[in-house]
Amino acid sequence: MEKTIGNKTIDVNDQGYLTDFSQWDKEVATELAKEKGIDLTDKHWEVIEYLQNKHKNEEALSIRGIKKSGVINIKEFYNLFPGGPLKVSTLIAGIPKPKSCI
Amino acid sequence: MATKVKKMLFILSKATLDNVYAAFIMANGARMEGIEAEIFFTFFGLEAIQKKKLEHLHVATVGNPAMHIPTLLGGLPGMEAIATKMMKNEMEKLDMPPVGEFLEILSDSGVNLWACKLAVEMFHLKEEDLIDELDGILTIGDFYNRVEEDGTHMLFI
């Protein structure tokens, strides 16, 4: 389905995740984050970049991976993206919701 | 939050690897969905939070039909160790953390970890025997009183 965000139109699935990554840019991310009540800081961007790189390399995302990432620790991750950090951060990063249970 | 479940309370009373992982994965899965989670370790479940024991938990090869090992063979020396090693290998392939690391992840994720007072006394355990991430030692009554809102569910494992 289509969604208008800021002055752009993006394609998202029924859970609000972007279906075409080429539509993603920093403005889209900022607006998606706002909808979740998050103001993106430098640390947020660092995490988003990490997630996008993992996705590009087809590496699965998990909370254990975050622990080993060297980018952020788990406590900070929960603080930065409240309400389910991997779920929320991947939505803002414009990549699919991780399917892993861990 | 649109979710109806707001908080999950787990009581872990067993120390077989499959039960411990069930509790850990469900607690972690709750946090990942923005749901609060707490675990109350009681009776044999306390093995999972004892520094010296937590990396040596086993799967049960006797009295466990799903293992498909005849009971007589399952009781032979070393059988539990072999079965456990095989299961741990499979779990590592799925990037499942070992028990100690999993407890760190749970604690960092905001899962409260509690030891049962009665069971701690029964097994003559001291606080220093238990993991550093432990949030405290509670009575079951204290644990019940941690329910403050609708949408809280309790699960006995």
Instruction: ipTM value, please give it.
Output: 0.87
Q: What is the DSSP string of chain B?
A: ---S--EEEEEE---SHHHHHHHHHHHHHHHHTT-EEEEEE-GGGGGGGBTTTGGG-----SS-GGG---HHHHTSTTHHHHHHHHHHHHHHHTTPPPHHHHHHHHHHTT-EEEEEHHHHHHTT--GGGB-TT--EEE-HHHHHTT--SSSEEEEE-
Q: What is the pLDDT of residue B2?
A: 53
- Read off the pLDDT of each residue in A17-42 and give the average, rounded to a whole number: 92
The domain spans of chain A are 2-93
Convert the pLDDT of each residue in A10-22 to its tens digit.
889 999 999 989 9
Q: Is A76 a catalytic residue?
A: no
Contact across the interface for B28 and A62, Cβ inside 8 Å: no
CATH 3.40.1260.10 is held by the domain B7-146: yes
Inform me whether the C-beta atom of residue B25 falls under 8 Å from chain A C-beta atoms: yes
A5 touches chain B (CB under 8 A): no
Q: What is the pLDDT along chain B (157 residues), one digit of tens a residue?
A: 455 899 999 999 999 999 999 999 999 999 999 999 999 999 999 999 999 999 989 888 888 888 788 877 888 888 888 889 988 888 888 888 999 999 999 999 999 999 999 999 999 999 999 999 999 999 999 999 999 888 999 999 9
Contact B75, B62 (CB under 8 A): yes
**pTM (2 decimals)?**
0.90
Selecting among A68, A70, A101, A102, the annotated active-site residue is: A101
